[in-house]
Amino acid sequence: MSKRVIISGGGTGGHIYPAIAIANALQKKDPELEVLFVGALGKMEMEKVPRAGFEIVGLPIAGLKRSLSLDNLLVPFKLINSLSKAKGIIEDFKPDVAVGVGGFASGPLLMMASLAGIPTLIQEQNSYAGITNKFLGKKARKICVAYPGMEAFFPADKISLLGNPVRSDIVDVSARNKEALVEFGLNGAHKTLFVMGGSLGARSINESINAGLPQLLEAGYQILWQTGRAYIDTAKQTIADLGTDKVKAFDFIYTMDLAYAVADVVISRAGALSVSELCLAAKPSILVPFPAAAEDHQTKNALTLVEQDAALMIKDSKTMQELVPKALELLKDIVKQDELKLNIRKLARPNAADDIAAEVFKLIK
């Protein structure tokens, strides 16, 4: 009988893509292994996971909203419903191991798996553990982390420092520059600034770039811009008003390997996945941490790089004044670019997905 693994979590690309990378690594080691994803209904994993070739089941789980909302009254009922549904999924699928990657859905699924005596593994992407993972860590058999010092949140004897699993095609992307130029319709004669705000976009980054496009274009640069769905129409209108073909805007970019390949400098949020990908791609980066992230973990992620002179950082509240001037400064400074590339490459963990998959197989045995 084939081995079976449930992978649960999601909500953002920062949870989903590490989960997919783990699933691919598991099936690379054992092509007969069956993987089932469990996500939250209405969240982006319900679209992205099937696109990656895996089956996913949704739970009706939701988090508390910070503002006063009638939706918060429904949260306890959704939790009870999700726990019941998670129990049914486990009974039907009969997994050998359950893996949690963070996000709403991982809580009910891993809780019910633990109660059923199924070994559980947590993959914590950030430098500051989320509430769900801190709770689940008490029962987990193994906790895989990406940053040192996580003993502050989890039992030290369960921790393995293995890094964040990312798509293997991001390693050594520089050789694919010509392919990337064709993919995005860019010109190899110009340096490229790649701007991304995470899978959902980033308002402060988008507004700063939108205001600063004339300066960037006047300096001779071209821009690849992932805006997120909420800002794409605004970006396209500005590009049309400027009458330029040197800015390419997309609401979402699926070929991230090629986006990194074409980039000379990257502006990014400091989510765990983005930081791990930037380390593997070894790109000079300006990080703008999302200030509302739980426990301000994106600032902690960014500072890990800044303290090792592996990236630059600008506070979200300072983007309108500082982001474009800092980008122009870095684009001109080849010596600084090379320094950042050298230092960020040292932090990469290209084998993270395979190493985490190996820990999953140990739990099966």
DSSP structure string for 88-132: HHHHHH--SEEEE-SSTTHHHHHHHHHHTT--EEEEE-SSS--HH
Domain boundaries, the chain: 4-164+351-364, 169-345
Could you tell me if 285 and 193 are in contact, meaning their C-beta atoms sit under 8 angstroms apart?
no
In this prediction, residue 60 carries a pLDDT of 84
DSSP structure string for 190-229: S-EEEEE--TT--HHHHHHHHHHHHHHHHTT-EEEEE--G
In this structure, the chain runs to a length of 365
CA pair distance 270, 284, nearest whole angstrom: 13
Q: Calculate the alpha carbon distances from 160 to 18, 182, 204, 218 in Å.
A: 16, 41, 35, 48
Structure tokens at 305: 């790089």
> Which residues line the annotated binding site for UDP-N-acetyl-alpha-D-glucosamine?
12-14, 126, 167, 199, 253, 272-277, 298
Question: Is 169-345 assigned to CATH 3.40.190.10?
Answer: no
Could you tell me if 350 and 21 are in contact, meaning their C-beta atoms sit under 8 angstroms apart?
no
Could you tell me if 275 and 305 are in contact, meaning their C-beta atoms sit under 8 angstroms apart?
yes
- What strands, in cross-sheet order, belong to the sheet with 159-161? 55-59, 34-40, 4-8, 97-100, 120-124, 142-145, 159-161
Instruction: Please name the helix (run of DSSP H) or strand (run of DSSP E) that holds residue 348, with its range, or none.
Output: none
In this prediction, residue 105 carries a pLDDT of 83
Residues 280-334 pLDDT 10s: 999 999 999 999 877 788 999 999 999 999 999 999 999 999 999 999 999 999 9
Could you tell me if 252 and 171 are in contact, meaning their C-beta atoms sit under 8 angstroms apart?
no
In this prediction, residue 199 carries a pLDDT of 64
Residue 241, φ and ψ in degrees, nearest 5: -65, -35
Q: Calculate the alpha carbon distances from 128 to 87, 213, 255, 309 in Å.
A: 29, 34, 29, 21
> Which residues line the annotated binding site?
12-14, 126, 167, 199, 253, 272-277, 298
Extract the residue ranges of the chain whose pLDDT is less than 50.
none
In this prediction, residue 68 carries a pLDDT of 61
35 secondary structure, DSSP code: E
Residues 157-204 pLDDT 10s: 999 999 999 877 787 788 899 999 999 999 999 999 999 986 667 999
Structure tokens at 128: 């500051």
The torsion of the CA quartet 146, 151, 152, 153, rounded to 10 degrees, works out to 70
Residue 29, φ and ψ in degrees, nearest 5: -75, -35
In this prediction, residue 102 carries a pLDDT of 86
In this prediction, residue 67 carries a pLDDT of 57
Contacts of 197 (CB under 8 A, 6+ apart): 203, 205, 206, 226, 227, 228, 268, 269
In this prediction, residue 82 carries a pLDDT of 83
- Which CATH architecture describes the domain 4-164+351-364? 3-Layer(aba) Sandwich (3.40)
In degrees, rounded to 5, the angle at the alpha carbon of residue 177 between the alpha carbons of residues 173 and 183 is 105
